[in-house]
Amino acid sequence: MILAEEEWRARTLAHEARVDALVGDHLERRRAGRAHPVHDFLFTYYSFKPSQLRRWHPGFGVVLGGSPPHADWAGYVTGADGVTVGPAVVEKRAATVEWVRGLLAATASRPAHTGCFGLHEWAMVYRTTPGDVRHESYPLRLGHSGTDEVVEAHQIKCSHFDAFRFFTDSARPLNAVTPTRELQPSLEQPGCLHAGMDLYKWAYKLTPLVPSELVADAFELAAEIRELDMRASPYDLADLGFEPVRIETTEGKRQYVEQQRAFAERGAVIRERLLAEIDCQEPAVTGRG
């Protein structure tokens, strides 16, 4: 596929404008030295910088005609028809692409399980005391004892290793499973909020082999999921404009599951798009043929 200069310039400008709108508030806060317990997560937990998210890549197999700046970027090569991602990138990323594909395919093959009610965030502060929680600037809605009671009144069903690893020592034995990094492909399921957020991670880890529009789509989904994740958490974030989803109540559980299912559906679309991008690169990227 060859993109004329007019086409790739238009896509570049559209992508840059979109990302500027998405990350502008974060950059302003960063300049002012202000932290945000919800939105900063996408820039602190995940390692992709705003400047990297803003840089437009066409994806594997797309040739850019004319005089694109990509000619001077690492990983790109210039041929008779224009500039494209070079074979060195394909070779270097082969193992990563294969692992990501396996995880995404395994996750997509399972039904979306709901009913965890976001209790992973509660398990991260279970049996803590004041001064011993991550977001110390924001109070727990039910206090420490009330938070502990909610945890003890429910079955914790967290299947995601990168959430489970932040559980307190007291909370880990309460979980229905014991996720590990090695078990991630066999445990991850599409209803998990963190699996939905991590679609952004897998998308940017595949850069520049996937189009940047797909990475931005995954970022937008992750940002919205993060809001639900923290609205359903034990923290009182009302001063920041986040109305709590009170998962300790029947109505709160209903709200959580409803939104969880909607995010699972949107995540499934992005997951399938990532798989399609990977599969159209075979055998060059994965070594299959």
HEC profile of the chain? CEECHHHHHHHHHHHHHHHHHHHHHHHHHHHHCCCCCCCCHHHHCCCCCHHHHHCCCCCCCCEECCCCHHHHCCCEEECCCCEEECHHHHHHHHHHHHHHHHHHHHHHCCCCCCCCCCHHHHHCCCCCCCCCCCCCCCCECCHHHHHHHHHHCCCECCCCHHHHCCCCCCCHHHECCCCCCCCHHHHCCCCCHHHHHHHHHHHHHCCCCCCHHHHHHHHHHHHHHHHHHHHCCCECCHHHCCCCCCCCCHHHHHHHHHHHHHHHHHHHHHHHHHHHHHHCCCCCCCCCC
Q: How far is the C-alpha of 192 from the C-alpha of 115, rounded, in Å?
A: 10
| Residue 94: both structure tokens together | 């082969």
Query: Beta strands 76-78 and 83-85: pairing type?
Result: antiparallel
Domain boundaries, the chain: 2-279
Cα angle value 253/149/256 (rounded, 5°) = 15
Q: How far is the C-alpha of 208 from the C-alpha of 55, rounded, in Å?
A: 10
Tens of pLDDT, residue by residue over 91-103, are 999 999 999 999 9
Question: What is the model's pLDDT at position 235?
Answer: 96
Tens of pLDDT, residue by residue over 129-175, are 877 767 677 999 999 999 999 999 999 999 999 999 999 999 999 99
The pair phi, psi for residue 235, each rounded to 5°, is -80, 150
- The rounded Cα 126 to chain-centroid distance in angstroms is 25
Cβ neighbours of residue 80 closer than 8 Å, sequence gap 6 or more: none
* Structure-token match 């014991």, residue found: 178
Mean pLDDT in order along the chain per 10 residues (289 residues): 96 98 96 94 94 97 96 96 94 94 97 94 92 78 96 96 95 96 95 97 97 98 97 96 97 97 98 95 54
Question: What is the model's pLDDT at position 288?
Answer: 47
| Residue 28: both structure tokens together | 């302003």
Task: Assess contact for 85 and 161: CB atoms under 8 A.
Answer: no
